[in-house]
Chains A and B, each alone.
Chain A
Amino acid sequence: MLYILEDAINGILMGSIYGLAALGLTLIFGVLKVINFAHGSLLMVSMYVAYWTITLSGLHPYVALVIVVPIMFVFGYFLQDIVIKPIFKAEKNVREPITVIIVTTGVWYILDNLTLLIFGPQYRTLQDNPLRGKMLEIGEFMLSVPKLWGFGAAVLTTLAVYLFLQKTDTGRAIRATSLDREAASLMGINAYKIYNLAFGIGTATAGVAAVTLVPFNNVFPTVGVLFDIKCFIIVVLGGLGSIGGALLGGIIIGLIESIAPQFMAATWAEAIVYGLFLLVLFVKPAGLFGVKNDW
């Protein structure tokens, strides 16, 4: 019984990091109404930025946040401003701009292959970092220290994004734009600037996720793909556009992945994840914590 509890706790820890990785995806969808297929690649780029920042500076991984997060914010902001915005403008009168989705797919391929070209296909592991392989022993429990840090980062980041959206003027403008872009522009809100901001913030949260991941996860050009699919399932499960839903969706996936292998072949865990995903789509298409916002 005890080891199941231990697995459950580790599942929650890992799941919260999944949720953190998915946070940007759900935020960007909520505001731009665009499925960002490049999200995994943004996470991958973030991981490279985090890896090199930590390796070259020798900083504690979490101190590197002060460098990685601003870099990723600026990267996301200008990616939207330069690459995606022109497509939005061209598709101004289309309710669901499909072309933009295709553009994000292009960004995914370009980023992945550019990384392959520059850094090669090899796996990189963060050497000599203070979190690497550390375990915390509490009685009978063995908990992974880097994942505990990751859990803290995930909860704090989710909370910060939530409060930012609820309490600040800019957050209010972001929510208004996500609910009705045209009405927001009649309030004097520049929707494209809001899109830039949302994309920047979404990418910055991927930066936080990357910092939590690099101490125990290898870095390689296609690492984003592994998280991509998981992130999509998490945000649909939690409710597209729901900030808290991303964290809880992530934890659900983490729990299934860690507990299911105790009772069946590990490959079944994946099947259960997808099965649950389908079930949620059938029963509650808006996701567990999503709000239907087309009235």
Chain B
Amino acid sequence: MSFLDVRNIDVSYGDVQVIFDLSLKIEEGEVVSIIGGNGSGKSTLLRTISGLMQAESGEISFIGKPIHKMPPEDIVEAGLIHVPEGRRLFSLMTVLDNLIIGAHNSRARGKAKVAETLAKVYELLPRLQERQNQMALTLSGGEQQMVAIGRGLMAQPKLLMLDEPSLGLAPILIKSIFETVRKIANQGTTVLLVEQDVKHSLSLSDRGYVLEHGRIALEGPASQLLNDPHIKTAYLGI
């Protein structure tokens, strides 16, 4: 049994089906990328895994437990943490409050535990400590993304799902965000990364899936995908 096991799910918005009979597996300790263009169903897939949307058919299990009928808060309790697209920070709360709220679930809660996790997050993202008393909405895009990732780490994830962390950031920031993701993975957290930035995301991943029109078009080891002729022409423009 895989760590995360998605089996044959169909997902629709009303009458419009977005994901078709999709299956994927993630093993513990892996870094897996899901790449694809706009509208290919990447975010919908993550929203379905984290319980914000319900699949019409198919099953999802996490560490052997079926989760596809659970509400999002129970999935968080199980250790599957989703850092959503567009960061979705609590804009009128301070950076520190945003981070603390990340540790709301019962595995991460508790004064001592929160302080310990917070120290780790600050070590990984020192910028957040400087900004801890600022309102989240006053931060730059890159800093906001760091808060979003930090908030996800505060939840003590067993599997961290990141939805387009590089979205709308300057190239230099994109590099530092991907370096952060690499560090998180090196510390032993399983990471599911959804990205449009194919080169960066595949080069730090173990495996990858290519999503096209709601279906898996290609899958394999990341190094193999990077050299795939279809990916080269369609996503890397080489």
Binding site for B on A (CB under 8 A): 169, 172-173, 175-176, 179-180, 182-190, 291, 293, 295
A185 to B73, CA, bound (A): 5
A39 to B51, CA, bound (A): 33
Report if A182-B76 is in contact (Cβ < 8 Å); known contacts: A172-B97, A291-B92.
Answer: no
Q: Is the CB of B100 within 8 A of A186?
A: no
A295 to B89, CA, bound (A): 12
Q: How far is the CB of B161 from chain A (nearest CB, A)?
A: 10
Q: Taking CB as reference atom, which chain B residue is nearest A170?
A: B104
Q: Is the CB of A182 within 8 A of B52?
A: yes
Given contacts A176-B90, A185-B51, A190-B73, 18 further A-B contacts (CB under 8 A): A169-B100, A172-B101, A175-B90, A175-B92, A176-B93, A176-B101, A179-B90, A185-B52, A185-B71, A186-B84, A187-B105, A187-B151, A188-B72, A188-B104, A188-B105, A291-B92, A293-B91, A295-B137
Write out the residue numbers on chain B whose beta carbons fall within 8 Å of the beta carbon of A295: 91, 137
Binding site for A on B (CB under 8 A): 50-52, 71-73, 76-77, 81-82, 84, 88-93, 97, 100-102, 104-106, 109, 137, 151, 155
> Chain A contact residues: over half helix, strand or loop, or mixed?
helix
Q: Taking CB as reference atom, which chain A residue is nearest B86?
A: A183
Q: Is the CB of B72 within 8 A of A186?
A: yes
A176 to B102, CA, bound (A): 10
Q: Is the CB of B101 within 8 A of A173?
A: yes
Number of cross-chain contacts by CB at 8 Å:
71
Q: Is the CB of A185 within 8 A of B72?
A: yes
A216 to B93, CA, bound (A): 40
Q: How far is the CB of A26 from chain B (nearest CB, A)?
A: 15
> Chain B contact residues: over half helix, strand or loop, or mixed?
loop
Report if A179-B93 is in contact (Cβ < 8 Å); known contacts: A173-B101, A186-B50, A187-B155.
Answer: yes
Q: How far is the CB of A128 from chain B (nearest CB, A)?
A: 48
Q: Taking CB as reference atom, which chain A residue is nearest B148?
A: A183
A-B contact pairs, 21 of them (CB 8 A): A172-B97, A172-B101, A173-B101, A176-B90, A179-B91, A179-B92, A180-B88, A180-B91, A182-B52, A183-B88, A183-B89, A185-B71, A185-B76, A186-B84, A186-B88, A187-B102, A188-B77, A188-B155, A189-B73, A190-B71, A295-B137
Write out the residue numbers on chain B whose beta carbons fall within 8 Å of the beta carbon of A180: 88, 90-91
Write out the residue numbers on chain B whose beta carbons fall within 8 Å of the beta carbon of A175: 90, 92-93, 97
A175 to B101, CA, bound (A): 10
A180 to B102, CA, bound (A): 13
Q: With a 10 A CB-CB cut-off, give which of B76, B92, B100 has the most chain A CB atoms.
A: B92
Q: How far is the CB of A192 from chain B (nearest CB, A)?
A: 9
A226 to B77, CA, bound (A): 46
A293 to B136, CA, bound (A): 12
A18 to B92, CA, bound (A): 27
Write out the residue numbers on chain B whose beta carbons fall within 8 Å of the beta carbon of A173: 101, 104
Q: Taking CB as reference atom, which chain B residue is nearest A183?
A: B88
A183 to B87, CA, bound (A): 9
Report if A183-B71 is in contact (Cβ < 8 Å); known contacts: A175-B93, A295-B137.
Answer: no
Q: With a 10 A CB-CB cut-off, give which of A173, A175, A185 has the most chain B CB atoms.
A: A185
A291 to B93, CA, bound (A): 12
A187 to B89, CA, bound (A): 11
